[in-house]
Amino acid sequence: MAATEVDVFANEEKRNLELGGHVGFDSLPDQLVSKSVAQGFCFNILCVGETGIGKSTLMNTLFNTTFENEEGSHYESEVHLRPQTYDLQESNVNLKLTIVHTVGFGDQINKEESYKPILEYIDAQFEKFLEEELKIKRSLYNYHDTRIHICLYFIAPTGHSLKSLDLVTMKKLDSKVNIIPVIAKADTVSKSELDKLKIKIMSELVSNGVQIYQFPTEDEAVAEINSSMNTHLPFAVVGSVEDVKVGNKMVKARLYPWGSVQVENENHCDFVKLREMLLRVNMEDLREQTHARHYELYRRCKLEEMGFKDTDPDSQSFSLQETYEAKRKEFLVELQRKEEEMRQMFVNKVKETEAELKEKEKELHERFEQLKRMHQDEKKNLEEKRRELEEEMNAFNRRKVAAETLMGQALQGCSQQPFKKDKDKKNFFSLPSACSLTSGRNLN
């Protein structure tokens, strides 16, 4: 019965009603405009290019202001990204602009890892937004969206084609961000060479499967201008913040000995085309493409990694709670397995350490016993030498006492005898010498 009623309502023709008077819902677009203006807008630009190619100068020229930016060095050991946020106001519209510079890009001898910090930064901004969406208490209304809306890839006009680094980097970035390639410092090449370079760059991008941003042509209001601008890609731009007097008016230009290059003259460069397409015509489409295409792709892949899916193989609806519980059990089993592996690894490590300590203890004990034996042998040798010295000292003392006693007796006998004849005197004087010799031999 319910299915029949649904079919009847589905086949019933829709009725058109004419209003009898003014209702007021035609002011809904005005309400959305007022709300958006009050909330403000954010726009994030990623500038990718080699140091000194003119990224900062082009940004200053693009927004007709001077942004604070440190001059880059050619001696960076690795690539790192430096975001800077500014609050701009034009008429009554507030814009929170974030410009991200790739410091050190292309300055290393080995350029294989140059694009990875850029990819990591873009994914990090997507991850922040996804975390905010998944919060229980989220505040997306006043959340500062840092997702990159446009990547201006600066190409150096120093060759006849793209560098391998340019192709690899743009190929890695095209699924994560809207890319608009620009030829920097276009005033360094002639007009004919510039046209050939544009054709060569687009041919290489197509042959290598690099998807750059194409201005949308679905909206009839901008279809014609966007279709025309798509044929001018990549834009050849020149940047300058200096006001130069040309004729009777002051314009942004670069002075050379042979003349001047006017930044806003479309016959000199494509700066005006870039500014119109980027800011005046397609800024909202860039924001929408970032959210609906690139962020949704990242979000889908991230949720699939977490185990979520829209339908099961039987095309039946699924329960979020059941998916969460299954993923939680799977995670706990994996955690328990890793815990057991870590415990077993710890036990094995402890056993190995104990075996090493026992071996070290055995070696130390053997070394101690060896030193102990050496000490006892040295002590025994010293005791023997001490006894020998004591015996020698005792023998020396005995000889010394005997010699002193003999000398004393000799001297005493000589002093008691009377003076005799010369012969006796001669014997008397020779007696001490004999005594001295005897005493000397005893001493020795």
Place of tokens 């909330």: 39
Q: Is beta strand 235-236 parallel, antiparallel or unpaired with respect to 179-183? A: parallel
129 or 322: which carries more pLDDT confidence?
Answer: 129
Task: Tell me: pLDDT of 433 over 60.
Answer: no
414 or 360: which carries more pLDDT confidence?
Answer: 360
Averaged pLDDT for residues 91-114: 85
> Per mean pLDDT, which range of 9-23, 92-106, 405-419 is the poorest?
9-23
Q: How confident is the model at residue 363 (pLDDT cuts 50, 70, 90)?
A: very high
Averaged pLDDT for residues 136-161: 86
Query: CATH fold of 37-308, please?
Result: Rossmann fold (3.40.50)
HSE-CB for 294 with a 13 A CA cutoff = 29
Closest listed residue to residue 240, CA positions, set 257, 223, 261, 224: 261
How confident is the model at residue 22, as a pLDDT?
Answer: 77
Q: How confident is the model at residue 317 (pLDDT cuts 50, 70, 90)?
A: low
Q: How confident is the model at residue 418 (pLDDT cuts 50, 70, 90)?
A: low
- Write the CB contacts of 162 (distance below 8 Å, at least 6 apart in sequence): 155, 200, 201, 204, 205
Task: Tell me: pLDDT of 315 over 70.
Answer: no
Q: How confident is the model at residue 1 (pLDDT cuts 50, 70, 90)?
A: very low
Averaged pLDDT for residues 298-307: 84
> Per mean pLDDT, which range of 218-222, 232-236, 246-250, 336-340 is the poorest?
246-250
Task: Tell me: pLDDT of 45 over 90.
Answer: yes
Closest listed residue to residue 271, CA positions, set 258, 287, 252: 252
Q: What is the mean pLDDT of the chain?
A: 82
- Write the CB contacts of 327 (distance below 8 Å, at least 6 apart in sequence): 306, 307
Helices 116-133 and 164-173, packing angle to 10 deg:
10
How confident is the model at residue 110, as a pLDDT?
Answer: 75
Q: pLDDT digit string (tens) for 177-216?
A: 999 999 988 888 888 888 888 999 999 999 999 999 999 8
Closest listed residue to residue 237, CA positions, set 307, 199, 185, 198: 185
Can you give the residue ranges of every domain in the chain?
37-308, 320-398
**DSSP letter, residue 236:** E
Instruction: Give the C-alpha separation, 105 to 48, whole Å.
Output: 7
Chain centroid offset of residue 349 CA: 33
Q: Which residues is 44 bridged to in the sheet?
A: 98
How confident is the model at residue 322, as a pLDDT?
Answer: 74
Task: Tell me: pLDDT of 380 over 60.
Answer: yes
**DSSP letter, residue 124:** H
How confident is the model at residue 288, as a pLDDT?
Answer: 92
Q: How confident is the model at residue 368 (pLDDT cuts 50, 70, 90)?
A: very high
How confident is the model at residue 182, as a pLDDT?
Answer: 92
Q: Write the burial class of residue 84 (CB in 10 Å: 0-12 exposed, 13-18 middle, 19+ buried).
A: middle
Q: pLDDT digit string (tens) for 12-38?
A: 667 787 777 778 888 888 888 888 888
Angle at the Cα of 225 from the Cα atoms of 224 and 226, rounded to 5 degrees:
95
Closest listed residue to residue 115, CA positions, set 163, 67, 183: 163
Q: DSSP labels for 241-264?
A: --EEEETTEEEEEEEETTEEEETT
8 Å CB contact between 234 and 271: no
How confident is the model at residue 40, as a pLDDT?
Answer: 85
How confident is the model at residue 221, as a pLDDT?
Answer: 84
Closest listed residue to residue 237, CA positions, set 254, 250, 215, 220: 254
Q: How confident is the model at residue 356 (pLDDT cuts 50, 70, 90)?
A: very high
Q: What are the two backbone dihedrals, phi and then psi, of residue 52, each rounded to the nearest 5 degrees? A: 85, 10
Amino acid identity for residue 309 in this structure: K
**DSSP letter, residue 291:** I
8 Å CB contact between 104 and 76: yes
**DSSP letter, residue 25:** G
pTM over 0.75: no
How confident is the model at residue 412, as a pLDDT?
Answer: 84
Q: How confident is the model at residue 144 (pLDDT cuts 50, 70, 90)?
A: confident
Instruction: Give the C-alpha separation, 89 to 96, whole Å.
Output: 9
**DSSP letter, residue 14:** P
Q: How confident is the model at residue 440 (pLDDT cuts 50, 70, 90)?
A: very low
Task: Tell me: pLDDT of 436 over 50.
Answer: no
The Cβ of residue 246 has, within 10 Å, a number of other Cβ atoms equal to 15
- Write the CB contacts of 320 (distance below 8 Å, at least 6 apart in sequence): 308
